[in-house]
Amino acid sequence: MRKIVWMCWFQGEDRAPEIVRACIRSWRDLNPGWQVRCLDASTALHYAPALAEFDLTSRVVTAASLSDILRISLLHEYGGVWADATLYCRRPLDDWLPFVLGEGFFAFDRPGPDRWLSTWFLAAEPGSPVIAAWARAVHDYWDARTQADHYFWVHRLFQSVCEADPTIGETWQAVPKISADEPHKILFSGLATPAGPSIDLDSDATPCFKLTHRCDADAAGPNSLLRRLIGSRRDQDEAPEPRASNNRARSPAFASLSVSTENLGDHVQILAADALLDRFGFFHGPRFDRDFELATAPGLDGERVVLMHGWFKRDSDEWPPHPALLPIFLGFHIRLFQSPSLLSEKSLAYFRAHQPIGCRDRHTAELLGAHDVETFVSHCLSLSLPRRLPSKAQTEIFVVSRDERLAAALPATLGPFTSILHYSGDTDFERNMQRARQLLQMYRDRARLLVTSLLHCALPALAMGIPVVMIFPINTPEGHASDRERFSSLSDIIPIWRFDQIGEIDWSAAPPDVGAIKLAIVDRLVEKLRALGLEAARSLGPIAEPSPVPV
């Protein structure tokens, strides 16, 4: 179980009402071993990539419905716990949640005769089939409409998923049932109602209480259920001061990398970097060739931030980069035998000026660390791509390599497969970007399994939740040593096989959870943007006016 509690208040925690702040604090106070992340209209986009492409300008979506979409997206991407911002924690999660999570999913049971489960508390293991099927249904629901047809639309979708898929329905039936009645007692009694023996606020038998912000907290007297639960106003922390923005400019300027290679893996990385910046509202801006234009930066029109990522392998005069290019190092990789100038004194001084350097692999981190450069392993930005939604069309096996030798070595028992080469025979950047987009979409929509010897087929597939069998390419002893360096962090995620081990491979291996790596990539990008004085330039909206809560 990923020990993370997701919450959200779209206006920001610093602008939340007293009840919401008390609820958020209750989860932090009682669960010190867990991360409690309260998102807002900007940060929700950072961590829920499905929302980055969700057009709110053509839909009428209330905050309640948007929150429903957000919770399912987050649990599908990372797993963990969702708690509504008006859910008050009464008992540490570690005391009770592991005992009800045997099916990899939990929700409180039957909040009403028309709903099978409550959504104000949801828990899911990473990769939960229940959440995946629910996320698919949410996507299809909103793909076909501009507004919800019912306040409890997401509850109805869950029921329809269980009824349509016997496996999901049987999983839900096997989940231990804890009634939603007890957590609702304070809400149904009235928050301003005087406390009495019918509700034991001192017992931890009820893990949490569902409250509401749609009430007059000032009207709740000192002996009311609300005040007995969250304390008096003087017991509450003061509302945090809104964090002042320290933007360098109203529209921070960015640049991006380009490449002049036929290897589509380079373009996959650039697509991932572009998509990551888009979540923050930053356009990639002008492109500079990673190997031939970073120092001269032709046409550069002032300071621009650039994500420095990928394989830097040319020993040219175009390093270090132009001083007006402000680098954020994430997913950086060095091939020293190809580019020894990257460890010149001038280069090392540049790295130290912009450390810590986020390295794509352990090899690069150790290489720079040996020269007193502060580093961390960020992995490749292609691991930030979103987890795909399940589909009945995901039935094909793709074998992806530089040439046909891998496909020729595979056993007939693997079954029919399609062989694909990631080398286009063309160095035109835009054409190769389009080819890379098409490949990623094909893998996402159709792949049941990917067998590959290419790093940037394996990594984006793992990010999307596709099973991958990785095999070292045929190489010389020196080339194999280089491959082991390039794959040094991938080998921490999945096994990497040699050609002489093909007979030992389990072709039914499940994809590993890479959610922790995705979270770390986004967190590091947030840190580095703030260090440059930049804030996100994008937030969710417009959000429709709230609809009445059903009685």
Angle between helices 264-279 and 455-463 (to 10 degrees): 30
Q: Which two tokens mark 466?
A: 């596709």
User: DSSP code of 465?
Assistant: T
For residue 134, give the nearest of 59, 63, 77, 58 by alpha carbon.
77
**Secondary element (H or E) of residue 282:** none
Q: Which two tokens mark 13?
A: 């925690």
pLDDT value for 222: 86
Number of Cβ within a 10 Å radius of residue 517? 21
- Residue 500's identity, in one-letter code, is D
3-state secondary structure of 468: strand
pLDDT value for 250: 42
Residue with tokens 């349509």: 164
pLDDT value for 214: 80
Residue with tokens 């293991």: 125
Q: Strand pairing of 115-124 and 80-83?
A: antiparallel
Bridge partners (DSSP) of residue 257 are: 288
| CA distances (Å), origin 114, targets 110, 118, 152, 188 | 8, 11, 9, 17
User: DSSP code of 512?
Assistant: P
Q: Which two tokens mark 540?
A: 């969710």
Long-range interactions of 461-465: CB distance < 8 A, separation 24+: 461/511, 462/383, 462/493, 462/494, 462/511, 462/512, 462/514, 463/382, 463/383, 463/384, 463/385, 463/386, 463/387, 463/514, 463/518, 464/385, 464/386, 464/387, 464/388, 464/440, 465/127, 465/387, 465/388, 465/511
Written as tens digits, the pLDDT of the chain (551 aa) is 899 999 999 999 999 999 999 999 999 999 999 999 999 999 999 999 889 889 999 999 999 999 999 999 999 999 999 999 999 999 999 999 999 999 999 999 999 999 999 999 999 999 999 999 999 999 999 999 999 999 999 999 999 999 999 999 999 999 999 999 999 998 988 888 888 877 877 777 899 999 998 877 777 788 888 888 888 765 555 555 555 544 444 456 999 999 999 999 999 999 999 999 999 999 989 999 999 999 999 999 999 999 999 988 777 789 999 999 999 999 999 988 888 889 999 999 999 999 999 999 999 999 999 999 999 999 999 999 999 999 999 999 999 999 999 999 999 999 999 999 999 999 999 999 999 999 999 999 999 999 999 999 999 999 999 999 999 998 878 778 888 989 999 999 999 999 999 999 999 989 999 999 999 999 999 999 999 999 888 899 999 988 777 76
Q: Which two tokens mark 257?
A: 């990398």
Q: How far apart are CA 124 and CA 136, in angstroms?
A: 16
| CA distances (Å), origin 346, targets 115, 293, 368, 426, 453 | 65, 18, 13, 34, 35
| pTM reported for the whole predicted model | 0.94
- Rounded to 5°, the CA angle 466-365-484 comes to 55
Q: How far apart are CA 1 and CA 81, in angstroms?
A: 9
